[in-house]
A and B are shown apart, each in its own frame.
Chain A
Amino acid sequence: MHFLLASEPVNKIVEASTEAAAAVSVGPDTAMLLLTVFVLAVFIGVEVITKIPPTLHTPLMSGSNAISGIALVGAVIAAGSGDSLLPKILGCAAVTLATINVVGGFMVTHRMLGMFRRKD
């Protein structure tokens, strides 16, 4: 990813991160750590998901879809913080959409998986 390799902006980041050390700063170390987390999580994902049988692929899609509604966490922060109205409204819309995704996704997956129970 080019923003991690470019050396020139790094100085800027160092400045920014020392200025806002207490806030959610993105220093070079933080970015590298986050990237490490990202790549390792992709590997875990591949390992786990290749073992899921085709029979469960639709529940996998709706369930993982619900998990991607995790953006709800960011949406909650956006809707609840700051003073200006516009970002709050954007955040509120995001909370609504992400909640539909999360609640609908997990519920419909639950409903579907109930059908896969052994019936004899």
Chain B
Amino acid sequence: MDPRLVQLAYLLSAVLFILGLKGLTRPRSAVRGNLLGACGLLVAVVVTLFQAGLDYRLIVGGLAVGAVIGAVFAIRVQMTEMPQMVALFNGFGGAASTLVAGANLVQTESFSTDMLVATALSGMIGAVTFSGSLIAWGKLKEFRKLDQIKIPAQQIVNGTLVLACIALTVAMANGDGSTMTVVTYWGISTLALILGVTLVVSIGGADMPVVIALLNSYSGLAAAATGFVLSNTVLIISGSLVGASGLILTRIMCVAMNRSLPNVLFGKMGATGSTLDADDVYADVKSTSADEVAMVLEVASRVVIVPGYGMAVAQAQHTVSDLRKLLVSKQIEVDFAIHPVAGRMPGHMNVLLAEADVPYEALREMDEINPTMEQADVTIVLGANDVVNPLARTDPDSPIAGMPIIDVDKSRTIIVIKRSLSPGFAGIPNPLFAADNALMLFADGRKAIQDIINALNES
């Protein structure tokens, strides 16, 4: 095929990627946007397959196996498990970049410094993405053993690994394509694999939205680096689009926690001068029953539901949706208040609620709903904790000080559904639970909501 035709086809697929992402700016056009993106990829792959002199045996095998595995994953995954799946796929993308750059190093005959540096970067970023994503996947799967791994002098280990990778990259940049260069490449990749583990293994569950967004960005940057290796524009363009996307999401997540990226990656939460004692804070906690909650809801005209990771754990999204429908049928206005870092990945709550048929118009962002929280007759907090903790506003010594929260405490009555008074990720007590207008319903999220529905139906 004419090389210029190939270039034009790559340009077409890059345009399709951009149009596809543009489609994602509105729920209505999003399905089409995703299809445009898929078409873009198809165009790029088909054109590549038409290049002369390719041996198709291994290619077809790999494509077939990969397509089957990918399709099975996509069809069978539960919506609550989306963070795990995205983490795993990020890792596969990163690994592919590392392998491609490694294979090219053996096949190519022109070794410019540019190409060698790009190869080293591709190996490094790809390998960090791969191992980091596998660890993130394991953490999201809640393999306990991962949480027990403590790396001594972690910052020093990470720093040493980064420096070693840079030193080897410099060494490789002046290489001549001999076996030594190849060995150096795999050395860099191996060190980067270890770095991915040491970076992610100590990061806690609630910080996973940041980690996944960052790894998402890395998988794009790895593809872009591979594009520099192969002088392939479509890899560079799509890689940089994904890189930008991941970085923006990372930033949004960090702002939503009022923490810097280094603080999330290297810092520790909880070790502050906060002197609040859980027993003192929770002295006046009032507990309630589903029947009582139903009576409160009966007379409300506006209800706000604040979901958190606990809703995903309890698989309560469908039951919550049923509750919403029931309340709406009683002429009660129901909104969902979604904190940006609720759940384990950006937009996690929105996907779960969309799965359960909650219209997206009912899902309100934090900044949008906070000014109206005073007009909420009842707020139901379901499996959220730190994102509704008023200490973020009032206690400058608290580990969550300055974090934007949903102003649940301003609503008239607060129902908190929670199995116990155990602290959230930040490890601090939540004075909201003991507020004068707060009632605790101690139960599993799904069962509690179902009991409330039953009580409403009986009355």
Contacts and interface: CB of A to CB of B under 8 A. Distances in A.
A105 to B, nearest CB: 6
Given A45-B245, A61-B86, A81-B55, A99 B240 contact: no
Contacts of B70: 99-105, 107
B20 A90 contact: no
Given A26-B115, A61-B216, A99-B62, A91 B100 contact: yes
Contacts of B224: 38
Interface string A9-43: 10011001101100111110011001001110110
Given A49-B245, A98-B66, A79 B115 contact: no
A119 B58 CA distance: 45
Contact of A97 (B96, B248, B340): B96
B350 interface: yes
Contacts of A108: 73-74, 77, 82, 85
Contacts of B77: 108
Given A34-B236, A61-B249, A117-B31, A66 B37 contact: yes
Given A46-B248, A64-B220, A90-B102, A105 B89 contact: yes
A70 to B, nearest CB: 4
Given A3-B114, A101-B96, A41 B241 contact: yes
SS of A interface (majority): helix
Interface in A64-108: 64-82, 84, 86-108
Contacts, number: 419
A91 B345 contact: no
B198 interface: no
A59 to B, nearest CB: 6
Contacts of B69: 96, 100, 104
Contacts of B271: none
A88 B410 CA distance: 63
Interface string B335-378: 00010100001111011001101011001010000000000000
B346 A57 contact: yes
A26 to B, nearest CB: 5
B103 A71 contact: no
Interface stretch (B41-49, B138-146, B290-298): B41-49
Interface stretch (B226-234, B432-440, B443-451): B226-234
B90 A16 contact: no
A65 B233 contact: no
B309 interface: no
B104 interface: yes
A17 B3 CA distance: 17
Contacts of A62: 82, 85-86, 89
Contact of B85 (A3, A70, A104): A104
A52 B230 contact: no
Contact of B238 (A26, A67, A106): A67
Nearest to B366: A54
Contacts of B258: none
Contacts of A4: 114
B216 A65 contact: yes
A112 B79 contact: yes
A26 B114 contact: yes
A6 B238 contact: no
B216 A64 contact: yes
Given A45-B21, A49-B248, 9 more contacts: A4-B114, A24-B108, A25-B231, A41-B14, A56-B25, A57-B252, A58-B351, A78-B107, A104-B74
12 contacts: A3-B114, A49-B241, A50-B248, A56-B25, A58-B347, A58-B350, A71-B222, A90-B99, A95-B63, A96-B66, A104-B89, A110-B31
